[in-house]
Structure 1
Amino acid sequence: MTVHSQVTKKQAVRFLQQMLRIRLFEERVIRLVNDNEIAGVTHEYIGQEAVAVGVCEALNEGDGITSTHRGHGHIIAKGGRVDRMMAELFGRKTGYNSGRGGSMHIADLSLNIYGANGMVAAGAPIAMGAAWAHKVKGTNQVAASFFGDGAINQGVLHETMNMASLWALPVLFVCENNGYAVTLSAEQSSANTRLAERASAYNMNGKLVDGMNVLEVFAEASEAVQLARAGGGPTFLECKTYRYMGHHTAESTMNLNYRSKQEINEWKKKDPIVQLDAWLRQYYDWDVADKQQLEEEIRAEIEAAVVYARQSPAPDPLESLHNMYATPYAGLPAKGWNL
């Protein structure tokens, strides 16, 4: 798809800024995990930035998303604040979920981020529910659900796709096909690896997209959003992409060999940030200094987020049962538990 005439310099620079913000945030998180400042493991989005940015830039502020265990990129691309994200990873009270959700469960209803989800494919019915509400209320809003290739064989996803198509709901099913569900390749888990073709079983529009090219993702997502708003129902986007890092930060210590260095390096040649930077230089007044300045500004923003997280207070144990229910928990004393 030709997208040169559809993207202005201002848009392209924003795409690059958002992809760099995701990349640099994730690289900083890895160092913090390795230094034991962030407990446990996290699932990095490095390499897949074009999918989150391309899709979220096609959405309006009022549109919603559901995310996955590998969700930092989605949250940032939808407008999430990196300081509150970092505080959440540190388990601090100022985090998006008051330090209770951690890496895999960040949500921000003010941005219509209905939550990252550690359960494979579990975000799909939530997004469909939001889309159903939008249609019933006539708000002209759209919902997008991100999920990996590992979700394609989950029954709940197919139930959701069937219902969304049957009711012509304004929802995007965004499959981030990075080739592996943890360590299991798509070839080993799916009888048909042309995942976008699954959409035809539900009379749904399906598109295969270069998930390493943010301009192509944006163009296809924009078309799908326009279709959804016009009452044309859902679209399934299979975005072929790749994660450069392991399934999670601890994988480097596990001596796994399901991928070769050659395979990883071949995919790095298609790096979405490098591609867009080169495209900007070709079509607009853009050079090395411009990208360096952008990087410096984002690095400073992320370091400020680290400081914010470090200085933020830890949650109060006496408030451990707060916000668990819509109404106050009857068994909770007025001043909390006497621990």
Structure 2
Amino acid sequence: MTDPSFELEVLEVVEETGDARSVVLDPGEHREFFAYTPGQFLTVAVPSERTGLVARSYSLSSTPGDGGPLTITVKRTPDGYASGWICEHLKAGDKLRVLPPSGIFTPKDLDVDLLLFAGGSGITPVMSIIRAALADGVNKITLFYANRDERSVIFHASLAELAAAQPERFQVVHWLESVQGLPTEAQLKAFAADHLEREAFVCGPAPFMKAATSALKELGFPRERRHQEKFVSLGGNPFDVEVIEVEPAADSVPSGPPVNLQVDLDGEEYDFDDWKPGTTLLEHLESKGVKAPYSCREGECSACAVRILEGEVTMRNNDVLDDEDLADGIRLACQSDAASEKVRVTYS
């Protein structure tokens, strides 16, 4: 298997707050592999004396429209080895091993009015969305941004500059726990009530996301206009490309005829009549040379998520999709086996 990762040079490490850093990366000759949409993330390899490396996913805070370098923003977490190493040791001139961009926490239309909820470092993908929408869209954007205190506000100056430059389009509401306490579901609901027709994006600590998402549900925001980022620490190593061939026991080999698979990916339509039982959807697409998105390959992130349009699949593992996601037809391609004679999916 070809190594899917690339080594990128660190151009700069910017101190955003006392415990947050923005890492500016140069894609160099690999730029074609790092085309991304606002809201996506990079999976990076952090060296570890104990395990060789640990893999962590960090959202891009830069915007693709300006053609500049890639920027991820990392907040040091308590007892977080990877975030601590990045914030304390990484410097300009270093090399960082990364996978190409992934993730589905992205707006489909930058001209649609947006309602954004961010808590703490959850501002990172939201910042990418804001920058892209203000530069390339014509929509209105309202951001509710919750933090512990004023010193914890990542991108404070940048947000103020953007709001001052386009006050008719962009409004920022800061919420500080040190002043107002933690925002309640009722307070988030009251805030969102004035923006019922907008597309909503929520990112931050789990309790904050749960409260904001519940508030949106109570207000009747349909599933297609509610987007929630999923943060799950990767347990596996997506950088490990060693393939060990193991001959399965005869009674464990899935049987049945090949399945017809139809896929909509990045505006391209694919139609295959030979998806074999026992091969995941992602593995089959890769065998056909289709560059389908993925990150962890273990069902621990949502980078490979698809929506079932016809037929059904069964998943081997799922640590990230909730009951509502599943009811909405969302599945993980890296864990999906065919469960019907025909399967049609979309990545959009």
Q: TM-score, normalised by structure 2?
A: 0.30
Q: Comparing both structures, which one devotes a greater share of its residues to strand?
A: 2
> Higher RCO, 1 or 2 (CA under 8 Å, sep at least 6)?
1
Q: Comparing both structures, which one devotes a greater share of its residues to helix?
A: 1
Q: TM-score, normalised by structure 1?
A: 0.31
